[in-house]
Amino acid sequence: MARKKFDVKGMMCVVCQSHVEKAVQNVKGVRNVNVNLLQNSMVVEFDPKITDTDIIAAAVADEGYEAYAVEEGIEKKDQNRHRGVLKRLVISLCFLLPLFYISMGRMIGFPLPEIFTRNEHLPFYALTQLVLTVPIVILNFHYFKNGFRNLVRRSPNMDSLIALGASAAFLYSLYITGLIIGYTANKSYESAHHVLHGLYFESCGMILTLITVGKYLESRSKSKTTNAIKKLISLAPKTALVERDGKEVSIPADEIRPGDIFLMRTGGSVPCDATVIEGNCTVDQSALTGESIPVTKKVGDRLMSASVSVGGFAKCRCDKSEGDSTLAQMIALVEQASASKAPVARLADRISGVFVPIVMSIAVIAAAVWLILGKDLSFAVNTAISVLVISCPCALGLATPTAIMVGTGRGAQLGILVKSAETLETAHSVTAVLLDKTGTCTEGKPSVTKILKANDVTEDEFLSFIYTAEKRSSHPLAKAITAYCIERQAVELSFTDYSEPDGGITAEVNSKRLLIGNKRLMEENGIETALFENTACEQAEKGAVPLYCAANGEIVGLVICSDKIRPASGAAVEQLHNMGIHTVMLTGDNKLTAESVKNELGIDECFSELLPADKTRIIEDMRKDGRIAMVGDGINDAPSLAAADVGIAVGAGQDIAIDSADIVLMKSDLCDVVTALMLSRRVMRIIKQNLFWALIYNSIGIPLAAGVFLPIFGWTLDPMFSAAAMSMSSFCVVTNALRLNWFKA
C-alpha cells in the first residue's frame, strides 16, 4: 500500500470535505482517505498496482476541486493563502466603500453629489452602483463558479448558498435598473422613485465582501491551529557535524544515516535519535517532552532528535535516520490525529450533509409565503437572500476538527501524543485508571539490596549461578542482579536450556537445573520455600521484591530487590481521585509488595501476582462498569494497553510509535496521565460549546432571516447583516478552539 498526501483547493466547508472524501473513496484501489478541511489537504492510502495519484486527482477534479502533491511547507502554503484572500478583500473594499456611500448615503444623512439626486439622473444613480458591483463580483467569482457547479451536480455546498443569494440580489437589481431606466425615459419619476428601494447592488457587494472578510479571519485563525506542527517542524536542525575519514564535515541533517558518528557541542541540535559513545553533554529536550530541566547524557545514554545541547561535548552514533526519528514520528502522529475524526463529529457531518438543501427549501418557502400573504416581490426576494446568506454549515463543520487539531497540538507541546481524535473523545469519559507497578508507579530501575544463601553454597558459587542465568534476560530485575554480580566479579558458567517462564528464569547451569523467580513459580515446581519465608515476607511488607533461587529442586538463596517509587506518583494518584477517577494497580509482584506500594501511594485497589492474561481479563471485567484507561511502560504491557478503552504508554520517549498505546507520554511522569485526561475533558468541553453555538446560531438566525419574528416582534434581517453574522460565526468557532493553546498542565 502507498500513502500520499495531497493539497486540495476549493474546499470551503464540511460539505465540500464530504464530497472530496466520497469521490476518492469511490476510486478503485483506494483503501483509506482522510480529508483535512483546516489544512485543505488529504492523505490517501491506495494500492499502486490498481490506481495512482493522477486518477485520484482526476476524481477530485470531477467534483469541482483541485488536488495535487505540494512540495511547499505548511508555513508557505498558509502565507500564500492569506495573501490571496487579503488581496481580494482589499480590492473588494475599494469598490464597496463608494458603492455603500452612494446607495446608503441619503438614508444615513450623508450628502450626495447632485448628479445622483436629480430625477433625470436616476438611471445614472443605478448604473453607477452596477459598475461598482461588477468588479466585486468578478474578484469573488469563484463563489459563483463553485456554487453553481455543485448545484448542477446536485451536491450544493456553502458556495451554492452564497452564489444563490448574491445572484438573486444582483439579478433583481438589474431588473429594477431596467425599470428605472424605462420610467425615467417616460418621465414617470414617481414610479422610478417607488422601485428605487429595490436596488440590492450594495447587498450583493456587501455579501461577497463580508464573506471574504470572514474567510480571511477564518484563514488566519485556522493557520494558528497548525502552530504546533509548525513548531515541531522548525525544531529539526538543518545540518549535522559528522566524522568522515578523521575529519569533521558539515552535512545536511537528512543525509545522516544509522552508524554515522556526529559531534555535539554547546548550542548544537541533535539531528537524529542517537547514542552517546564518548564524552557527555547536557541537553534541553523540553520541546519534545515538556521537561523544563536539562538532562545530562553520558556514554550509553540515548539522545532524542531535536534536543539542544546546553553544555559539554560528546560523540554520538546515529541510531535512526532523520525520517525515522522521534521528532519525525511526533510530527506524523500529530498530523494523523488532526486529520482523524472523533465520533462526535459524525453528528455534525450527518447534519451538514442535508443542511444546504434544507436551507434552499426554506428560502423558497419563505419567499412564497410572504408573496401569498401580500408582501411585494422586493420583500420576498430580500427574505430569500437573507435566509441563504445567514445559513452557515461552516460553523457546524469546523466545530470538532478545530478543537481536535488545537488540542492534539497543545498535547504535543506538553509531551503528550494522542494518536487519534477518537482517543481524545474517549479519554474524557474514563472512570477508572489501571496502573502497572514496575516502570509506571515505580522508577523501573530496581537494585539489589540484600542477598541470602543456603549454608551448603559458597557466595562465589551462588553469584555465578544467578549471574549466568540472569545475564540473558532484559527484565529490569534481571538487569539489577546482573549489575550487582558484575560489581562483585562473578564468573559466568556454562549453561543450556535457557527459558523465561512467567514469574522467573530457568536454565541448566553446570549440570544443575537452576530456577529463579517469585514464590508462585517455586510452588508450581514443587519447591519448598520455608527456609527464607520469613525474610521474604518482611522485605515484601517494606515494598521490596524477594526472588527465590533453587538448584535441582532445593532452595539455595534469596535475592532482595528494591525499586524506588516515582516522586510524582503519589501526587498523580491524588489528582486522579480529585477528578473522580477510581485507581487500580496491576502487578505480577507478590501480594505483600503490591500492598505496600498501594498503601504508600493511596491507590484504591490492587491486584497482585498476575500473569499478562490475568491483567487483560481484569480489564475486560472492569470495562463493563465504565471506560477504562490502562497505564503501562508501553513495551511489557502491550496486551493490557490494547485491551483497555484508552492505552497510555508512560516514559516511552525513545519508542513513541508503540502500536498498542493510544496515548504516548514522552517522559516518565505519572502526572502526565492526569494532564492527558484533563486535556481530553477540556477539548470535549470546547467541542460541545462549538456545536451548541453553531446549532443555536442557525436555529435562531434562519427563522429570523425568514421573517418568522416579524408578526410578533417586528424583527426582520437585511442581507448585509446576514452576511456579517455568517462570516463571524465560523470565526467565533475557530477562535473558541484556539483557547486550548492556553491549556496548562
Interval 202-255: pLDDT, tens: 888 888 887 787 777 766 766 666 666 677 777 788 888 898 877 888 888 888
- Are 166 and 207 a contacting pair, CB within 8 Å? yes
pLDDT band of residue 654 (cuts 50, 70, 90) is: very low
Mean of pLDDT values over 698-718 = 85
Rounded CA-CA distance 379/375 in Å is 6
CATH, range 236-328: 2.70.150.10
Rounded CA-CA distance 540/598 in Å is 12
- Are 37 and 17 a contacting pair, CB within 8 Å? yes
- Are 665 and 672 a contacting pair, CB within 8 Å? yes
Contacts (Cβ under 8 Å, ≥6 apart) of 644: 434, 619, 623, 628, 629, 630
**Considering the chain, what percentage of its residues have pLDDT values greater than 70?**
90
Rounded CA-CA distance 136/504 in Å is 78
- Are 396 and 726 a contacting pair, CB within 8 Å? no
Rounded CA-CA distance 473/547 in Å is 15
Rounded CA-CA distance 165/386 in Å is 7
Query: Could you say which DSSP state residue 267 is in?
Result: T
Over 80: is that where the pLDDT of 599 sits? yes
Query: Could you say which DSSP state residue 541 is in?
Result: H
Which residue shows C-alpha cell 443555536?
A: 696
Sign of CA dihedral 657, 659, 662, 667: negative
Is domain 2-71 annotated with CATH 3.60.15.10?
A: no
Mean pLDDT, the chain, integer: 83
Which set of grid coordinates corresponds to residue 279? 564524552
pLDDT of residue 332: 75
Over 90: is that where the pLDDT of 578 sits? yes
Residue ranges of domains in the chain: 2-71, 236-328, 340-414+675-745, 416-442+565-666, 447-562
Mean of pLDDT values over 102-109 = 70
pLDDT of residue 223: 65
pLDDT band of residue 414 (cuts 50, 70, 90) is: confident
Over 60: is that where the pLDDT of 73 sits? no
Which of 119, 86, 122 shows the shortest CA–CA distance to 103?
122
Rounded CA-CA distance 251/129 in Å is 62
Mean of pLDDT values over 342-368 = 78
pLDDT of residue 575: 94
Over 90: is that where the pLDDT of 415 sits? no
- Are 166 and 204 a contacting pair, CB within 8 Å? yes
Rounded CA-CA distance 373/695 in Å is 29
pLDDT of residue 422: 84
**Considering the chain, what percentage of its residues have pLDDT values greater than 90?**
15
Burial class (CB in 10 A: 0-12, 13-18, 19+), 246: exposed
Which of 12, 423, 4 shows the shortest CA–CA distance to 222?
12
Q: Which fold has domain 447-562?
A: Calcium-transporting ATPase, cytoplasmic domain N (3.40.1110)
Rounded CA-CA distance 131/76 in Å is 36
CATH for the 416-442+565-666 domain, from 3.40.50.1000, 1.10.10.10, 3.90.700.10, 1.20.1630.10 = 3.40.50.1000
Which set of grid coordinates corresponds to residue 298? 553520558
DSSP class per residue in 163-197: HHHHHHHHHHHHHHHHHHHHHHHTT-HHHHHHHHT
- Are 507 and 469 a contacting pair, CB within 8 Å? yes
Longest dimension (CA), the chain: 129
pLDDT of residue 491: 87
- At residue 295, what are phi and psi to the nearest 5 degrees? -115, 135
- Are 162 and 389 a contacting pair, CB within 8 Å? yes
Strands 582-586 and 430-436: parallel
Over 70: is that where the pLDDT of 468 sits? yes
Report CA dihedral (503, 504, 507, 512) to the nearest 10 degrees. Answer: -100
Residue 403, SS3 per DSSP: helix
Rounded CA-CA distance 549/385 in Å is 86
**Cα end-to-end distance, the chain, whole Å:** 39
Interval 371-387: pLDDT, tens: 999 888 888 888 988 88
- Are 633 and 436 a contacting pair, CB within 8 Å? yes
CA angle 687–692–698, rounded 5-degree value: 130
Rounded CA-CA distance 507/241 in Å is 47
Which member of 436, 589, 637, 672 is catalytic?
A: 436
Active site residue 436: yes
Interval 34-60: pLDDT, tens: 887 767 778 888 888 888 888 898 888
Over 80: is that where the pLDDT of 434 sits? yes
Over 90: is that where the pLDDT of 168 sits? no
